[in-house]
Amino acid sequence: MKYRIVTHGLLCAIAFLLFAISAKAEENKPVYRCSFTGGIAYSDFRDMGVSPITYSGPALNACFAFSRTAAQGRLSLEGNFLAGMYQDNVPPRHNFNNSSGLAQIRLKYLHQFNAGLNLGASVDNIFLLSHNSTFGNASFGAGDVTSVNLHLGYQTPLVLFRNKKTTWFVSEIAFAPISLQFRPGFAYIDNYTEEIPTNSTYFNQYQWYFSPFSTLEASLGILIGRRNLTISYHWQFITTWENAPHRMDFTTHSLQATWQLTKHNNKKNNKKI
């Protein structure tokens, strides 16, 4: 509990720091952006608490983001959701008997340097849910990963066709040096058991773990037209490594389209760009 309080305190401090840096950077008129992302994905999922076998399958994802850019600093709040149906890889393959969902909330600050280089940090919270009724009293699995991430981005003009509008190539990688994870304990019992239904026992067998480099991300894409449509490929890897009693790995490859709306604070210049 002590570590949990300290870690969450640190995360709050970092979030506050991001706001402070962002505020300092906003000496000029800020630009507000709102973006909606939809994508199709393919995920691999393995939770050693219930199965040593990797489950794979298609998924859909959606992301909503709001950002505020001033000078060279950009502060954004993002919500990302992914839901998929998976099957194991051992013959005879079952139908898609495992379903999973992921909800991610991210507060990120990126600072743009010369030559299209972006550096920044974010505080993330990822909540994972999975269900596979075959596993009886362990049919329900949940996990939470709270992490501090470092981001490195790069973007450069890209001329695909002569005499056409300039497009941009954008790329970014991110990783979490440290994270705090909330995972099922040794017996991996979910609340389906209702072993102690008279008490409030949600997640009573869950435990907290520290884990380094628990999330890795990479994305690359193309900004098209007047910089309001992005087509991108995104890869995300979430793991507990061996720091929890039962290791969990989750990877997602997704092809996404992002539509971005921009609003300048200056009323005379309040139009999309």
Q: Residues in the site for other proteins, rule: CB under 8 A?
A: 44, 46, 49-54, 88-92, 134-139, 154, 156, 158, 169, 171, 173, 185-189, 193-199, 205, 216, 218-220, 235, 237, 239, 249, 251, 253
Distance between CA atoms of residues 33 and 208, nearest Å: 36
* Residue (101 or 245) nearer to other proteins, CB: 245
| Min separation Cβ 138 and other proteins, Å | 5
* Residue (85 or 173) nearer to other proteins, CB: 173
* Residue (9 or 177) nearer to other proteins, CB: 177
Strand partners, 248: 47
| Min separation Cβ 21 and other proteins, Å | 26
* Residue (139 or 265) nearer to other proteins, CB: 139
Burial of 5 (0-12, 13-18, 19+ CB in 10 A): exposed
Angle in degrees, CA 137, 184, 77, rounded to 5:
120
Q: What are phi and psi of 80, to 5 degrees?
A: -125, 135
Q: Are 63 and 80 in contact (CB under 8 A)?
A: yes
| Min separation Cβ 249 and other proteins, Å | 5
**ω into 92 cis (within 30 of 0):** yes
Contacts of 221 (CB under 8 A, 6+ apart): 169, 170, 171, 230, 231, 232, 233, 256, 258
| Min separation Cβ 189 and other proteins, Å | 6
| Min separation Cβ 216 and other proteins, Å | 8
* Residue (50 or 107) nearer to other proteins, CB: 50
